[in-house]
């Protein structure tokens, strides 16, 4: 076998492979026997027709096509091994150069490589934002609003009222064009004059227009609107009042605290809210901080990956987008229409985001290896069990059944372990960027942890078997 290797700029390699003619002849005979088993040839039992008979029956081109497929399948692993390359994934047969001698051209994506810059020298101040009394009060006000008493009233609308309206909108310059907002009912709480209104829909300050209701009102969206298709558009809104109710908020007392959870006093409720806000604020800040550090390291590192890896990252992002849309009761087709995009346009728009995300992930994985980040098998076991329990609690029955298939144990453990590895690596990187000392990890005997991880996979398989058995038992009882 002769192999010519050409490395391409997009982190792929072109392999031109020449094999002996005898190999192709042998493959042609194997192909003929395979074809003979799949078709009916008069006078012969399946698979027993001689080679010349099969050639006459199906034609030499069909036999040759099948033979090349068999030959490529046979030689490909040896080609990769002989060429001494680390592929990212399966290669593809790009070209049949000749059949005499048999000569093929393969395109193989290479495993990603990361040449880290001096990531240990990266520094960034770590200054989480605290939680103010205003933040706590906002949550309390939201809770009070959720427990408000609504009562029908026969009067004009005023600040603080809950109203239900029917709304639709069109462009100011073209009333007959397709509506900007199709007719729809919506519920609104009319904000006080000094209340923040930037997050109101369909535009900031909308609820204030419902006082002394104008049946028709106009609004021009500026060029920074979060709705791209409405930027610099003047819209006419037609509003019909359906219902008006007054809102009476409960007082901030211990009775209110007891009504919203397991709290005895308002002081306990406030402390719980503060603790939750602090945890949430810190988690958000850490995520943004980690992202910034990774971006800094990615800029000083040399990162190579094949185009197939980027396409897969794009697929993952679009799959997540589709899931979010479905949860909101929307479809990808409707989303594309609202954005005036086609599927290919959306992929191209997603590409820069996917590339940035991919680079950060590759950097993080490389740092995990450089820092010798290890996962404790007992922690992995505990986290996997928690994942299974949570999945049983929240997933629909059909989805849970997919998860607990017996062949899913290894994949489940791997996913949990990867999440834990990335989490620990982010923590380590955060410490480095804050200048909190060198790594305490050191290379050691990895055989024992690996055995324990394999044991975890085995235990998960047992847990899945038990779950499946319980499910089958429940089905039998139901029948």
Say whether 152 sits in a helix, a strand or coil.
strand
Q: Give the Cα separation of 323 and 304 in Å (integer).
A: 30
Q: Is 420 in contact with 383 (CB distance < 8 Å)?
A: yes
Dihedrals phi, psi of 185, to nearest 5 degrees = -85, 155
**Paired tokens of 121:** 């020298």
Choose among 193, 209, 192, 212: nearest CA to 201. Answer: 209
Which pLDDT score, from 0 to 100, does residue 441 have?
46
Q: Is 152 in contact with 243 (CB distance < 8 Å)?
A: yes
Residues in contact with 152: Cβ distance below 8 Å, sequence separation at least 6, in sequence order:
243, 244, 245
Q: Is 149 in contact with 334 (CB distance < 8 Å)?
A: no
pLDDT in tens, 254-295: 999 999 999 999 999 999 999 999 999 999 999 999 999 999
Question: CATH classification of 148-248 is 3.40.50.620, yes or no?
Answer: no
Domain ranges of the chain: 2-111, 114-147+255-301, 148-248, 305-370, 372-479
Partner residues linked to 235 by β-bridges: 171, 219
Q: What single string gives the DSSP state of each residue in 364-417?
A: HHHHHHHTT----HHHHHHHHHHHHHHHHHHS-HHHHHHHT-GGGHHHHHHHHH
Q: Is 449 in contact with 398 (CB distance < 8 Å)?
A: no
Q: What is the pTM of this model?
A: 0.74
Q: Give the Cα separation of 472 and 478 in Å (integer).
A: 10
Q: Is 421 in contact with 371 (CB distance < 8 Å)?
A: no
Residues in contact with 417: Cβ distance below 8 Å, sequence separation at least 6, in sequence order:
375, 380, 453
Dihedrals phi, psi of 391, to nearest 5 degrees = -60, -40
Q: Give the Cα separation of 90 and 107 in Å (integer).
A: 9
CATH architecture of 2-111: 2-Layer Sandwich (3.30)
pLDDT one digit per residue (tens) for the chain, 479 residues = 899 999 999 999 999 999 999 999 999 999 999 999 998 888 888 888 899 999 999 999 999 999 999 999 999 999 999 999 999 999 999 999 999 899 999 999 999 999 999 999 999 999 998 899 999 999 999 999 999 999 999 888 999 999 999 998 888 887 777 788 888 899 999 988 777 667 788 888 899 888 876 678 889 988 888 777 778 889 899 999 999 999 999 999 999 999 999 999 999 999 999 999 999 999 999 999 999 999 999 999 999 999 999 999 999 999 999 999 888 888 899 889 878 899 999 999 999 999 999 999 999 999 999 999 999 989 998 998 888 888 888 888 777 777 766 556 678 888 899 999 999 999 999 999 999 865 544 444 555 555 555 555 555 555 555 554 554 545 454 44
């Amino acid at each position: 076998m002769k192999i010519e290797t050409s490395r391409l700029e997009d982190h792929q390699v072109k392999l031109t492979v020449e094999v002996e003619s005898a190999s192709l002849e042998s493959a042609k005979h194997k192909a003929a026997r395979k074809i003979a088993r799949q078709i009916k040839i008069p006078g012969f039992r399946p698979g027993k027709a001689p080679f010349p008979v099969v050639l006459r029956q199906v034609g030499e081109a069909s036999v040759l096509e099948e033979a090349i497929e068999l030959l490529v399948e046979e030689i490909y692993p040896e080609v990769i091994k002989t060429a001494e390359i680390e592929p990212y994934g399966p290669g593809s047969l790009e070209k049949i150069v000749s059949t005499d001698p048999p000569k093929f051209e393969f395109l193989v994506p290479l495993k990603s490589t990361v040449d880290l810059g001096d990531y240990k020298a990266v520094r960034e101040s770590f200054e989480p934002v605290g939680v103010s009394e205003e933040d706590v009060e906002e949550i309390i006000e939201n809770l009070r609003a959720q427990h408000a008493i609504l009562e029908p009233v026969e009067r004009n609308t005023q600040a603080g009222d809950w109203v239900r309206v029917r709304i639709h909108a069109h462009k100011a310059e073209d009333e007959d064009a397709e509506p900007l907002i199709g007719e729809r009912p919506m519920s609104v709480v009319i904000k006080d004059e000094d209340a923040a209104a930037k997050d109101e829909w369909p535009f900031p300050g909308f609820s204030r227009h419902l006082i002394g209701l104008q049946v028709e009102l106009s609004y021009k969206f500026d060029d920074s609107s979060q709705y791209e298709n409405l930027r610099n558009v003047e819209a006419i809104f037609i509003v019909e009042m359906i219902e008006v109710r007054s809102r009476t908020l409960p007082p901030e007392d211990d009775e209110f605290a007891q009504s919203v959870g397991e709290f005895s006093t308002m002081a306990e409720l406030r402390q719980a809210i503060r603790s939750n806000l602090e945890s949430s604020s810190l988690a958000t800040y850490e995520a943004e901080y980690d992202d910034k550090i990774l971006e800094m390291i990615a800029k000083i590192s040399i990162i190579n990956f094949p185009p197939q890896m980027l396409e897969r990252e794009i697929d993952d992002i679009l799959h997540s987008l589709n899931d979010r849309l479905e949860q909101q009761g929307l479809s990808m087709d409707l989303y594309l229409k609202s954005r005036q995009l086609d599927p290919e346009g959306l992929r191209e728009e997603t590409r820069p985001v996917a590339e940035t995300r991919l680079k950060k992930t590759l950097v993080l994985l490389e740092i995990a290896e450089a820092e010798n980040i290890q996962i404790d098998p007992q922690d992995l076991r505990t986290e996997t069990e928690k994942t299974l329990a949570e999945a049983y609690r929240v997933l629909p029955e059909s989805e849970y059944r997919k998860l607990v298939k017996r062949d899913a144990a290894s994949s489940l453990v791997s996913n949990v372990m990867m999440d834990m590895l990335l989490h620990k690596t982010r923590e380590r990187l955060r410490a480095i960027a804050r200048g909190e000392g060198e790594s305490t990890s050191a290379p050691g005997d990895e055989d024992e942890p690996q055995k324990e991880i394999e044991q975890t996979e085995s235990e998960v398989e047992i847990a899945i078997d038990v779950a499946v058995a319980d499910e089958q038992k429940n089905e039998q009882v139901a029948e």
